[in-house]
Amino acid sequence: MDNILFNFNNKTAVITGGAQGFGLDIAKRFLNSGARVIIWDIDPEMIKKSSKNLNNPNLSSYTVDVSDYQAVEDCVKEITKKSNIDILINNAGITGPTATLWDYDIDLWKKVVDINLMGTFNCCRAIVPSMIKNNYGRIVNVASVAGKDGNANASAYSVGKAGSIALTKSLGKELADKNIAVNAVTPAGAKTRILDQMTKEHVQRMLSKVPRARFLEVEEFTSLVCWLSSEENTFSTAAVFDISGGRSTY
Ligand SMILES: NC(=O)c1ccc[n+]([C@@H]2O[C@H](COP(=O)([O-])OP(=O)(O)OC[C@H]3O[C@@H](n4cnc5c(N)ncnc54)[C@H](O)[C@@H]3O)[C@@H](O)[C@H]2O)c1
């Protein structure tokens, strides 16, 4: 089945963690649907490789760590000199190690929460004022089924994603009187590089909980993100959209 394209003509999207995995696939579909795309990623080599492969004049990129507020704000200032930011996909994330809470390295625990939760806060904090000025915005926060269910041996990741779900609900309500939608998505496991950060047993355990009995395909995920990011989404906000193959039914 061919992927459905959307109308993102004249829209500019920032996609964090866009150099590979989910973020890169979203970037591809946005570009094919007429958007200008700006990838933010911490990995300059991966940005270079992916930008070369995409080879699209409507694609630009910044090397930025989303957990560094000042760096995020500096990027936003530079971009908004030339263009609006219409769409923000808060997708950058890491799982961190597979470990019980009492064995978890304290600095790593903070780092996982810093990237998954504070990264989302930082990007929203820096970009939302310009969306308010333009009375237009679509924000999608990439959480995880772990943020709903709480995965054993992944407390930092589960907390970071649960925080991003709560942030979505608060921010969505704060912006509900404007043409700005803020939603979260909660995918189950998909075969991207992020799985390498966890043990094989942990990944198998996650998969065994999915009634669809398979991994999520990145293209399936992108389709949901596209609709939430589109102009057509005029009502849904402050909500959490599940894409976990039946694992989470709320
Ligand atoms: N793949 C899955 O199974 C799965 C399931 C549920 C949720 N998610 C979430 O989806 C999102 C994308 O994950 P993915 O599977 O594509 O993983 P991935 O590892 O392929 O991509 C993540 C990207 O984020 C970037 N990144 C990491 N830390 C960053 C930082 N501090 N600042 C900027 N960029 C940073 C990485 O360099 C990488 O390019 C993550 O938030 C992840 O938690 C993934």
| 51 backbone dihedrals φ, ψ, rounded to 5° | -65, -40
Does the C-beta of 190 come closer than 6 Å to ligand 1? yes
Which residues are CB-neighbours of 213 under 8 A, at least 6 positions away?
Answer: 207, 245
pTM attached to this predicted model: 0.98
List, in order of start, the domains of the chain with CATH numbers: 12-243 (3.40.50.720)
* Pocket lining: 160 vs ligand 1, CB cutoff 6 Å: no
25 in Cβ contact with 187 (< 8 Å): no
The answer for residues whose C-beta is within 8 angstroms of residue 76's C-beta and 6 or more apart is: 85, 126, 127, 130
The CA distance from 236 to 176, in Å, is: 10
Ligand 1 site-directed mutation target among 116, 144, 194, most atoms within 8 Å of CB? 194
Distance from the Cα of residue 130 to its chain's centroid: 19
Most informative mutation of 22, 74, 121 for ligand 1 (most atoms within 8 A of CB): 22
Q: Indicate which atom in ligand 1 lies nearest the CA of residue 17.
A: 24
* Confidence (pLDDT) at 1: 66
What atom in ligand 1 is closest to the CA of residue 146?
6
DSSP state of 28: H
> Mean pLDDT, the chain, as a whole number?
97
First to last CA, the chain: 28
- Rg for the chain (alpha carbons), in Å? 17
Beta strands in 10-159 (DSSP E): 12-16, 36-41, 59-63, 87-90, 137-142
Percent of the chain with pLDDT over 90: 95
Distance of alpha carbon 80 from alpha carbon 99, whole angstroms: 41
Name the residue at shortest CA distance from atom 40 of ligand 1.
93
Q: What is the pLDDT of residue 4?
A: 85
* Per-residue pLDDT at 221: 98
Known catalytic residues? 157
How far does residue 156's CA lie from ligand 1's centre (Å)? 15
Kindly give the parts of the chain with pLDDT less than 50: none
Whether 46 lines ligand 1, by a CB cut-off of 6 Å, is yes
pLDDT given for residue 2 in this prediction: 74
CA of 147 to the centre of ligand 1 (A): 15
